[in-house]
Amino acid sequence: MSLTDDITAAIPGPATPYQGDIARYWDHEARPVNLRLGDVDGLYHHHYGIGDVDQAAIGDPSDSEREKKVITELHRLESAQAELLFDHLGPIPADATLVDAGCGRGGSMVMAHQRFGCRVQGVTLSAKQAEFGNDRAHELGIGDFVRSQVCNMLDMPFETGQVAGSWNNESSMYVDLHDLFAEHARILAVGGRYVTVTGCWNPAYGQPSKWVSQINAHFECNIHSRREYLRAMADNRLVPQAVIDLTPATLPYWELRATSSLVTGIEEAFINSYRDGSFQYVLIAADRV
Ligand SMILES: C[S@@+](CC[C@H](N)C(=O)[O-])C[C@H]1O[C@@H](n2cnc3c(N)ncnc32)[C@H](O)[C@@H]1O
C-alpha cells in the first residue's frame, strides 16, 4: 500500500451526530496541558503518562524554573507511555504500514516512524488535528512516511489484511468496541498485532463509579469495562497476548499534574477512581489470528 494510493479515495468524515460532536470537541481543543507539553520537543500527545517521577529533574517547589521542569517531566512520562505501546507491537519491518486509530495531533505517529522507519497512517475525526499532524510531519521531513487523514476509524480507507500493526491510544472510548475491533481485524494481516492503551472501568468494582461518570461527561466519551474489551476482542479474531494493569504506573503522572499550573479540573476524578479501584489504566496487546 502506498501513501498516495488511498488519498484519492473519498474520505468519510463523521458518520453520526455524536461523531460530529467529537470532531468539534477536538477541533477546538487547545488546553495548555496538551500544547505546552508538546512544545517541549515537538511531539504533541493527547494521552497520559506512565512511570516514576524523576524528583531530581523537577527540583524543589522554590525553584524558579520548577514549572518548566514539571512540564518537561510530564511530557517525558507521556512519551514513555507511547514507547511502551510500541514495545508491544513487536518487531516491525521498515517496509510495513502501521495504523494509528484516533491519532490526535500525531506525536505517536512520529515516534513510531522514528523507531521502526516504516509508514504510519493516522485517522482522526478532527480536521484541525489532521492538518496539524501533517504540518509537523512535513516540517520534520517525514511527510512521505507519516500521514493523518480525517476519517472514521470504524470505516478506515485501508485495504483488507495489509497492515502489520495498529493501535488505539486513548481513543477507543469513543466507539462501540465490537465495531472497532471488527475494523482492526479487517485491516490487519493475519499475525499482525493490535495494541490499545486505555482507561476502563473495573468489573470487580461492580458498575461505573461516580468518578468514571464524571470523566465520561468531561470528555464526552463512554468508558468501557475491562470485560467488554476482552469479550469484543475474542469475538473479532484478536487474541490477547498481554494485559497489563498500568494503574500504579500512571498515578505519579496524575499526582504531579495535579500540583502543576496545567490542571484542567478532572485530575481528582482520575486520582480517586484509580485509588478506589473503580477505574484502571490498561495496555492490551492482541494477535490478529
Ligand atoms: C484522547 S485523543 C488521543 C489522541 C492520540 N491517540 C494520542 O495518543 O495523542 C482521542 C482521539 O480519538 C479520535 N477519535 C474519536 N472517535 C473517532 C472516530 N470514530 N474515528 C476516528 N477518530 C476518532 C479523536 O479525533 C482524537 O484524535
Q: Is 175 in the pocket of ligand 1 (CB under 6 A)?
A: yes
pLDDT attached to residue 11:
59
Q: Taking 50 as the threshold, does the pLDDT of residue 1 lie above it?
A: no
Q: Is 170 in the pocket of ligand 1 (CB under 6 A)?
A: yes
Residues 129-144 have a mean pLDDT of 97
8 pLDDT band, cuts 50/70/90, is very low
pLDDT attached to residue 6:
46
Residues 52-68 have a mean pLDDT of 93
> For ligand 1, atom 4, which residue shows the shortest CA distance?
104
Give percent above pLDDT 90 in the chain: 89
> For ligand 1, atom 19, which residue shows the shortest CA distance?
152
Residues 203-221 have a mean pLDDT of 97
Q: What are the residue boundaries of the structural domains of the chain, listed by start?
A: 17-288
In ligand 1, the atom with minimum distance to the C-alpha of 107 is: 9
Which of 43, 124, 184 has most ligand 1 atoms within 8 Å of its beta carbon, as the pocket-test mutant? 124
Of 3-7, 71-75, 225-229, minimum mean pLDDT range: 3-7
Query: Which CATH code fits 17-288?
Result: 3.40.50.150
2 pLDDT band, cuts 50/70/90, is very low
pLDDT in tens, 87-116: 999 999 999 999 999 999 999 999 999 999
Q: What are the two backbone dihedrals, phi and then psi, of residue 15, each rounded to the nearest 5 degrees?
A: -100, -20
pLDDT attached to residue 236:
98
Beta carbons within 8 Å of 217's beta carbon, 6+ residues apart: none
Q: Is 198 in the pocket of ligand 1 (CB under 6 A)?
A: no
pLDDT in tens, 38-59: 999 999 999 999 999 999 999 8
pLDDT in tens, 170-194: 999 999 999 999 999 999 999 999 9
Residues 140-149 have a mean pLDDT of 98
C-alpha triplet 140, 23, 247: angle, nearest 5°: 75
> Which cell is 281 given?
489504566
pLDDT attached to residue 31:
77
Q: Is 262 in the pocket of ligand 1 (CB under 6 A)?
A: no
Q: Taking 80 as the threshold, does the pLDDT of residue 71 lie above it?
A: yes
pLDDT attached to residue 121:
98
pLDDT attached to residue 9:
43
Residue found by looking up cell 495496555 in the block: 283
pLDDT attached to residue 4:
42
Beta carbons within 8 Å of 226's beta carbon, 6+ residues apart: 200, 201, 202, 203, 280, 282
pLDDT attached to residue 3:
46
Rg (CA), the chain: 18
Which pTM value belongs to this model? 0.95
Q: Taking 70 as the threshold, does the pLDDT of residue 82 lie above it?
A: yes
pLDDT in tens, 22-38: 999 999 987 777 789 99
10 Å CB burial of residue 168 (0-12, 13-18, 19+) is buried
Q: Taking 80 as the threshold, does the pLDDT of residue 202 lie above it?
A: yes
Compute the distance from residue 65 Cα to the ligand 1 centre, in Å.
33
> Which cell is 67 given?
514549572
Residues 254-264 have a mean pLDDT of 93
Give percent above pLDDT 70 in the chain: 96
In ligand 1, the atom with minimum distance to the C-alpha of 82 is: 8
